[in-house]
Amino acid sequence: MELNLKNKVVIVTGASSGIGLETTKMFLAEGARVVGVSRDMSALADLGALDHWVTCDVDLRQKGAGDAVARATLEAFGRIDVLFNNAAICPTRGGFLDVSDDDWAETMNINLGGYIRMARAVLPTMIAQKKGVLIHCGSEAGRMPHPLLPDYSTSKAAITLLSKALAREFTPKGVRSNVIAPAHIRTELWDRPGGFLHALADYYGTTIEGAVDAFLVESKLPAGRLGTPRDVAMAVLYLASDLAEFISGDVISIDGGVIPTT
C-alpha cells in the first residue's frame, strides 16, 4: 500500500530537531510539499533549496503567529492538507513545588497555546477544501506523568482533550484530528545539557548511560530500548495519509508497549 503523500501540503512545527526534523525529512522523501516552522533555521539549512520546501521563522508563543504560518503556506503552495503540531518544550523540574507561576504559563503557552493558534489558523482553509488532517504531538506523560515533568505532563494531557474536541466538531466537515503519544523517545531534549537524561542521572545517582539502563529497568519497557524519532515519524505519515481516513479523535501510543491500552 502507498501513502500517496506526493504534493500534499504539510506544515510541521518544531521542524528543526528531533521528531519534527525527522518527520519533515520523511514527508519530503514522500514528495510532500512542506513548510517547516521553527525559531532555529540553522538546522534546516542542510535540507537545501527544494522547490517543495520552505521555512517559516515564527515564534508560536505570539498572537497571530499561526495566521502568519497559514498565510505563508497559502502563498507558497495554495492549500493546506496537513498540520503536524509538534513544537514544544520539555523542561525538567525538581518536582511540583519547583514550578513557578511563570514556568506554568510558559509551558502551557508553548505546548498548548501554540497548538491552538495553529489549528485555528489552518482550519478555515481545510474546511473550505472539505478535507484536512490535524496531527498533534502529545505524550504518554499526559496519561502517566513523571514527577520531574509536572507542567509538561499537564500540557500534554490537555492536548488530548483539545484534539478530541476538534475531531468532534470538524470531522463532519472533512477534517480529522488525532494525537500521537510518544514515550521514551531519545531526542535532543533528552541528551542536551540540563535535559531529561541529565536529570535522570542526578535522580538515580549515576552516569548518563547508567541512567538510561536504570530508566529502562524501572519503566519495564517491553521493547527493551528507547524509541527513535523515526518510530514516531512513521506514525505521523500514516495518520496524514488516506489510509487513516476513518481515524479521528484517537490517540496513537508510540511507547514500546510500556502503557497497556486496556
Domain 9-185+227-254 part of CATH 3.40.50.720: yes
What's the rounded Cα separation, in Å, for the pair 78 and 21?
Answer: 23
Q: Which residues contact 9 (CB under 8 A, 6 or more apart)?
A: 32, 33, 34, 35, 73, 77, 78, 79, 80, 81, 82
The arrangement of strands across the sheet holding 82-85 comes to 53-56, 33-37, 9-13, 82-85, 132-137, 175-182, 251-254
Partner residues linked to 185 by β-bridges: 227
Q: Write the DSSP assignment of 136-154 as a string of letters.
A: EE--GGGTS--TT-HHHHH
Q: Each residue's pLDDT tens digit in the chain (262 positions)? A: 789 999 999 999 999 889 999 999 999 999 999 999 988 777 777 776 677 898 889 989 999 999 999 999 999 999 999 999 999 887 778 889 999 999 999 999 999 999 999 999 999 999 999 999 999 999 988 888 888 888 999 999 999 999 999 999 999 999 999 999 998 888 877 777 777 778 788 888 888 888 877 877 777 778 878 889 999 999 999 999 999 999 999 999 998 887 655 4
53 CB-side CA count, 13 A: 18
Structure confidence at residue 169 (pLDDT) = 98
Residue 260 pLDDT: 59
Output the pLDDT for position 262. Answer: 46
- Cα separation, 53 vs 35, in Å, equals 6
**pTM of this prediction?**
0.89
Which of the residues are catalytic? 152
C-alpha cell at 123: 482550519
- Cβ pair 191, 211 in contact under 8 A: no
The position carrying cell 472539505 is: 130
Write 63-72 long-range contacts (CB < 8 A, 24+): 63/117, 65/114, 65/117, 66/114, 66/117, 66/118, 66/119, 66/120, 66/121, 66/122, 67/117, 67/121, 69/11, 69/13, 69/35, 69/37, 69/118, 69/121, 70/11, 70/121, 70/122, 70/125, 72/35
Q: Quick check: 117 and 60 in contact, CB under 8 A?
A: yes
Check residue 252 and give its pLDDT: 95
The pLDDT value recorded for residue 177 is: 99
Q: Are 125 and 59 in contact (CB under 8 A)?
A: no
User: What is the model's pLDDT at position 215?
Assistant: 78
Q: What's the pLDDT score for residue 261? A: 52
Confidence (pLDDT) at 141: 81
pLDDT of residue 234: 97
Question: Do the Cβ atoms of 146 and 91 come closer than 8 Å?
Answer: no
- Cα 74 → chain centroid: 22
Contact between residue 38 and residue 44 where contact means Cβ atoms under 8 Å apart: yes
Q: Where are the domains of the chain?
A: 9-185+227-254, 187-226
C-alpha 192/C-alpha 189 separation (Å) is 6
